[in-house]
Amino acid sequence: MKRSIEKHQTLREKILETIRDAIISGTLKPGEKVAEPELAERFGISRTPIREAFRQLESEGYLKVFPRKGAVVASFSQRDVEEFYAIKSILEGYAARKACENLSPREIEKLQAINDRLRQLAAEGDVKHFFKVHNSFHELFVKAADNEKLTEMITGLVGRFQRLRIASLSVPGRMDFSVGEHQKIIDAFKNKDAELVEHLVRGNAEYGGKVLVQDGKVIVSLKPDGGKEALHADL
């Protein structure tokens, strides 16, 4: 029974990763349908874990799921991007200000270690792992703000817009910029400069949204390596 559950979870994770990659790479485009039958055939499974994966991806902002119609790749407007990053900048900026009073020297050292790892991942061009480690940087100072309601709000907000955040980090030069801004934030934490740290965190979040809007259009995927052939190979 335990092995069956583990297999089910592993398949679900593979489906999640497959669809995320296809959307981020651009092989699945906004408005395009994600077909359950193709996934079921590829993985040799029932549609139950696929539907579970669809619900998870919908909560992360990758898909829109319609009853009896299936799932399509979600699209974002310029207003969606601007509103998300505006709210994110305010909430995380306030969290950073409060954290400035509470962060211990050991926690600041941990922030530095995380940023050193991010610098390495940026040099390697590893967006996926950069995104995961990047999250831990923000989670550390948000937790240090010691405000449960604030933490819940930030966690819920950023969870629903994961696709925008990883797309932003995928823009050329964005990871290096993020590492540089993180270093300034760490230095401000060391100096207990709450006003500066709030300004830096807010500015970093706002910049994350700006790089996604070009000529009034939202850029939420990288250029695909291939055309439809790549999509069918992946899905």
Assign 229 a pLDDT band (cuts: 50, 70, 90).
very low
pLDDT for the residue numbered 220: 66
Assign 203 a pLDDT band (cuts: 50, 70, 90).
very high
Question: Within this chain, do residues 143 and 91 fall inside the same structural domain, yes or no?
Answer: yes
Which domain covers residue 200, as residue numbers?
Answer: 78-218
Q: Is the pTM of this model over 0.85?
A: no
Assign 227 a pLDDT band (cuts: 50, 70, 90).
very low
How far is Cα 92 from Cα 47, in angstroms, rounded to an integer?
38
Residue type, 28: L
Kind and range of the H or E run holding 173: none
The lowest-confidence range among 84-88, 101-105, 195-199, 218-222 is 218-222
Question: Within this chain, do residues 82 and 8 fall inside the same structural domain, yes or no?
Answer: no
Residue 228 has pLDDT above 50, yes or no: no
Kind and range of the H or E run holding 108: helix 105-124
Question: Within this chain, do residues 110 and 182 fall inside the same structural domain, yes or no?
Answer: yes
Question: Within this chain, do residues 225 and 205 fall inside the same structural domain, yes or no?
Answer: no
Question: Within this chain, do residues 100 and 213 fall inside the same structural domain, yes or no?
Answer: yes
Q: What is the CA radius of gyration of the chain?
A: 19
How far is Cα 85 from Cα 164, in angstroms, rounded to an integer?
10
Count CB-CB contacts under 10 A for residue 155.
12
Domain count, the chain: 2
Q: What tens digit of pLDDT does each residue of 84-114 get?
A: 999 999 999 999 999 999 999 999 999 999 9
pLDDT for the residue numbered 232: 35
pLDDT, greater one: 227 or 87: 87
Question: Within this chain, do residues 82 and 155 fall inside the same structural domain, yes or no?
Answer: yes
